[in-house]
Structure 1
Amino acid sequence: MAAYELETLRDTAALRKITDFAAALCGCPVSLVSLVEETRQTFIARSGIDITETPRDVSFCAHAMLGDEIMVVPDATDDPRFACNALVTGETNIRFYAGAPLVTEDGIPLGSLCVIDTVPHPEGLTDLQRQGLETLADNVMARLRDNRDAAVSRNAERDARIALTDSNTRFRTLADTMPQMVWSTLPDGYHDYFNARWYEYTGMPDGSTDGEGWNGMFHPDDQERAWARWRQSLTSGDPYEIEYRLRYRDGTYRWVLGRALPIRDDEGKIVRWFGTCTDIHEQKLTLEEREVISQELSHRIKNIFSVVSGLIAFSARAHPEFRDIAGDLRDRITALGRAHDFVRPHSPASMPANQPNSLIGLLGELFEPYQVTGQDRVSLKGDDVAIDDRSATPLALLFHELATNATKYGALSVPDGWVTVTMNSDGEAVTLDWREQGGPAVTPPGGSGFGTQLMELSAVRQLGGTVARDWKADGLDVTVTVPLAAFRRR
């Protein structure tokens, strides 16, 4: 009976019409729609009787609902099942009973539509009366099903409302306890929720920043940028992330990090955006101060390279016999200076044309003095690799030495010679191939000079790699293999 709870039965008047017609059809004073439960039977519609229920153990309908056809009792006093029944022997004085079973589409018996009389009906029911009672019983079941489905629907809607309210309450409670400012928008970007932290931080009245009012909280210089980034995310569905200055409750502006992600339904359609604003003002100021200090230190280091180069030049003038050695040393220091200047922290004004964390960019800077207008005497090919200041110094020394030797003895010592540097990365190591062509024939040196030792120091000891040389007839080929991890700190 649980699926057919009595409070869901709202069509009592219609059922009463059925019992009235059933009583008239069968010539009986009483007709009932009886639902039989575990301990009782309840009359959800009745004609000709005032009682609304009886115990199950005296129920005629409890028998009728178990059959496949209408149960007819012409004279209850002659039926051993009911002769001693209190409804027969007592004030109710039942003599005739006919009940059509009420059974669900799943075969579950519920009760019956019955007619009752206080006098026997030896003839029972006519064929027309049987047909009519069966038809009326089907009508009762149709109405019970409609009421059941409506009740299920109402219960489902009620449960959904309760679940939604509970979910919203939990979300708001959680959002209000977070240290970040939390907000959400409709799919079109309309802001309809901010948590308590937002209003506490901005000092704005509740609801005053809904809709497009939120953008007015940004610094005037950041508003258009924030709007453009937000519109881009709304159009593309990509996550939203931006740093901007937000007006604090005291009227000052503080840097915050804004982020938002879309929530999608099962079909991938965006149904809502959820976002946060995190105060990063102190971190932002600290990073700016650190950048200023870093740029100042880098500038002073660059000046030291210049001073050392100047001292070497000054000493060379005093000692002409060391001029060639001094020149080589000064060139190496200059190369180190160029490498340092390339990877050092930069301001927008001092940023090099090439990407400052790029191996191709660094080599391009180093080889710039060797290029000829309209002709790349040193060309770079292959995979670029990210570098930092740790690897820039040994790489600068290594390739400066190769370029210097090529200018003195190799491909760059003649107008038609050229060099190709090819870089290949396999995810574990990077192979750097220096290939000279078009120059004079080269022969292996008789011993290991300072330049060779410098290359070994740079590639092997500092970068943890290997160096292989091949003095081919048409030019030197040097292959340097370095672990990928040596190019950049984790």
Structure 2
Amino acid sequence: MHGNARAMSDSVAALRGKHRGAYRPTTASWSRMRGLRAALLVAVLVPALLLALSAWRSWDAAWRSAETEVMRTADAAAEFARRLLEAQLLRIERANDILAGLSDAEVRIREDELQSALRAAAAERESAERETFYLFVYDRDAYPLVTSAAVPAARSRRMMDREFNRVLRPADAPPFYVSPVYVGRDTGRAFFAVTARRERTGNGLPAGTYDGVVNASAYLDHVNPALAALAATPDDVVALIRMDGALLARSAGFKIDPAAAEPRLLPGGPMLEVMARGDARAIVRARSPMDDVERIAALRRVGGSWPVYVSAARDRGAVIAAWRREIAPQAVITAVSAMLLALLAGAVLRRQHSLEDANETLEARVAERAAALAESEIRFRALVDVGPNFVWFATPDGALHYLNDRWFEFTGQRQEDALPDGWATTLHPDDAARTAATWAQARARGVTYEIEVRYRRHDGEYRWYLARAEPLRDATGRIEAWFGSSTDIHDLKAAQAALAESEARLRLAQEAGGVGSWEWDLGTGALFWSESCHRLHGTDPAVPVSYETWRDGIHPEDLPGVERAVREALEGRATGWAVEFRFRRRDNGTLRWIAGRAEVVHDPETGRALRVHGVGLDVTERRDAEERQALMTRELDHRAKNALAAVQAAVRLTPKHDPEAYARAIEGRVSALARAHTILAAGKWEGAALRALVEAELAPFETPVGEAAPDVRRVAVDGPDVALAPDAVQALSMALHELATNAAKHGALSVPGGRVSLSWRVEEGAGLLVLNWRERGGPPIIEAPVRRGFGSRVLEATLGTQLGGRVERRWEAGGLDCEIAVPIARVLAGSATQCEWHVEASGRARTSAM
């Protein structure tokens, strides 16, 4: 002991030497001795009784804690399994969408294209290198049609031995099926599969007829580690089990023999009894058929109509070992306490015998009793020192005057270093100021002092302690002293950190499927969204959401259909809903397409709807791709019809009396159209530059008659940069071709020295684009032609009727002057009037289709 204990021992010795006198024991004194012996016996036995009680409670608590932890793990694993299985159904639905309307023969012909599409569907929100999921499509005779795997389907290998090719054949077959574990014949990897019938095939079979299946495989080398990540301890085992006892996945793995039957639970076991009853959750104790180890297991049925349970199990030996670790320190403390109490009892008895036998004076007996009291206090302090806590006393002003031995063993300080305030040097630097402020505030207000702080151990490591002190008051309420203790909570803090990490892993596992999940409590109206669901809708996870939050973001055109699906499910006319709708994100206001799937949970007794579980997936890119494809199809159809109409007109109006001239004329006009289409295609059908069109159409007429190549340009072009609308390009190309053809046959381009100039200008005030065609150096013109030829009719049809313009021709002696004026609104790209006219001509419903 330290100085204060030694001083008390000296005081006891001094008291023993005072006031010795005679003393004779009486009947009352003997009665007191018997009572004292009984009390001391009880005191010695109390620690053992307390240990027994504590051990019993710890035993019960260890099993309850194990049951709670495995049930929590089972709940998390069941949620993971539900998301995994529903994600597989979504992939199957996506595969049916891809194959919709295709016959088996068409699927085989387009195998490479469909294989790529299925691979993309199977790998949505999965990294390509992991190859976590595969999609397989089988025909009605169990032969493979197409697969998402890199290796093409082995069409000659019939798979009738697989259950999923047999179970869904009957007319009353379930909508989907979860297979037992198989080993891939090509990959050698173990997997189980979610299977559903092929829908909307192009084989011409009656509705409801079995026409093959789509199989979504989940590989155990992905599922088993995911289950292991959910386990509370590395030794816990988490498994997925079909309701018939077939083992689907196991965090600790299991041996799979392709030649033997699939691994399953032993018949008649408690787990199969729970599954047979259809219990939602249960705790059982059973021996595992995989490794013959007895475990306590939590069974949790996967939500919805899935015939699958999750088992989270812990080794019985692990539970007992945890209980032993908890009770061992108490047993040591109890043994030491009982020993010290026995010593104390013996000392008290010996002292009492000494007092009874001594013939001491009253003063001596008082002194002896005071000495015994002091010795008892010393032993009490010894008991304090063997405990795990720091115990300390302080004066009313906060100066410590006592610390038990546990403090000095922990910190390595000496008594003179720690008292009265040197103990504060062991505080963590981040905790020192906070501790001083809290201690000062508690003393000033006279209230309980409590704080979590870190003390430095003698080896330099800091550990967390809960420090607590209460004021000791006299009869008037004045504080005489402070009594405090500090309890080691370091392991508890570490456990809390581990729990937070485990919850983070759980969130990651929940988001492994790449979809947002939510739950709606119909009783309270509370709506819970996962973090991925908040990201999907652009909402803040810190702000609560409601059904109205979700409903108000749905596009008004989609809202009636969504509300009708929700209403039918809540009224019991459907088990859930599967809809696609547009949602306006709350963060940036953009519209996103979301595919939603939900399932309603009902009270098994009353049938009342209790809550709804659901998932959502962003399918905007798919919907945009489908819309772009449809738009391009309509645009191509419109352009093709225009081109064919122009060719048809050219063929109909070209004179046919000279076959050779007829062929040349048709060839030239079709070539003019082809050049216009080439320019439009280069500009992605958004329009073309007038200069580029003019140069392309007049280039074939540059070579003079009788010469190999022109010495100078025979066609001069001048005008500002003007962008033409797509429909104006075709009309102007035909008009320029007819003017150039006429000049080459009869005008300036028919002789070597002839020249043509073409200029244009934009008259903003009049709203016109004006083109001037002028020929010089050709054969002299005596008079204007009397008969309207095909070229004149083309100019009037394309420029007058189609573009709403006018054509003015002047037959001058030096050559033809032709002025063409067309409205800007009908020919220039980007004009609102031109867009409206184009929509009216093409029969479209929106100007945005341009």
Could you say which TM-score interval applies, normalised by the shorter chain?
0.3 to 0.5
TM-score, length of structure 1 as denominator length: 0.37
Higher relative contact order (CA 8 A, sep 6+): 2
TM-score, length of structure 2 as denominator length: 0.22
